[in-house]
Amino acid sequence: MKRTPLNTLKSWFQGAPRRVTWIAAACVALALTMISCSTLTRTILAPPSIPGATFVGNDTCGQCHETIVRDFKTADHARLKAEGKNAVNIGCESCHGPGSVHVEKGGGRGSIVNPSRSPETCFQCHLEVRTKFSLPNHHPLAEGKVTCSDCHNPHKGGAVKGGGTEFMGKNETCFQCHTAQRGPFVFPHEAVREGCTTCHEPHGSINQRMLTERNQALCLKCHVDKAFMAGHASRLAQGTCWSAGCHEAVHGSQVSKTLRY
């Protein structure tokens, strides 16, 4: 077929959707590359800075904080410690800042960084956690009502308090503040036995009450069979499983096996 300007124009329009798709994909790839590169250049992890202070090493810290330095070998954070000459500032001082001024003053506040008073030191490494605390529903860390160390062990054992070989159960950390949810209940919700994080995101969530899922979608992850029970479909449309006035005792009940009240 003879190629005319009209045929060329028709061919161009016929291939336009595919051409637009390829162009869009190329733009997305370029944008991701630029974001990745800029992230690499902007994310700089460094120990806290203390004016006039230099690094002294873990052995010096251990002269006063013997128990902490000794037990730190069992901590999850100890896996990040460097060995040899490079370890002088990758140990205690990677979180507390250089300690020479602290040593010269014989200790005391103000001469060393205390991460429990500010989460910024923790956020240097845990960038994804900083993001979660910026979500609409979060534990009041930025408001100064809780600290990272209320729930985490920085110096000994597992980074998350409770569970494992500890005497404290995995829910006990939450029950320190949320005493009403502790029970005991005659009819406990089995999800609570699984752990609070089965339903809640501990750092922050877009959902109310820091839930991992929105509305009845959370309950249906385990109770999918209940969605097809007679009358449930219409009731689910009225609200969540608890706010619709049905299963209000979501953590446990003293009188209702179905957690009605």
Q: What is the Cα–Cα distance from 201 to 139, expressed in whole angstroms?
A: 10
* From 96-105, 212-221, 228-237, the region with the lowest mean pLDDT: 228-237
| Environment class of 181 (CB within 10 Å of its CB; exposed 0-12, middle 13-18, buried 19+) | middle
Closest CA to 195 of 165, 175, 220: 175
Closest CA to 55 of 66, 63, 47: 47
- The residue with tokens 């494992």 is 164
Instruction: Say which residue, 124 or 168, is predicted with more confidence.
Output: 124
**pLDDT above 70: percentage of residues in the chain:** 76
* From 66-70, 90-94, 110-114, 252-256, the region with the lowest mean pLDDT: 90-94
Q: Which two tokens stand for residue 67?
A: 């128990």
Q: Calculate the dihedral angle through the C-alpha atoms of 73, 162, 173, 150, rounding to the nearest 10 degrees.
A: 0
All structural domains of the chain with their residue ranges: 52-113, 148-253
Give me the chain's average pLDDT, please: 81
Closest CA to 58 of 33, 83, 76, 34: 83
Whether 183 has a pLDDT exceeding 80, the answer reads: yes
Query: Across-strand partners of 211?
Result: 200
Instruction: Say which residue, 124 or 103, is predicted with more confidence.
Output: 103
Average pLDDT over residues 180-193: 92
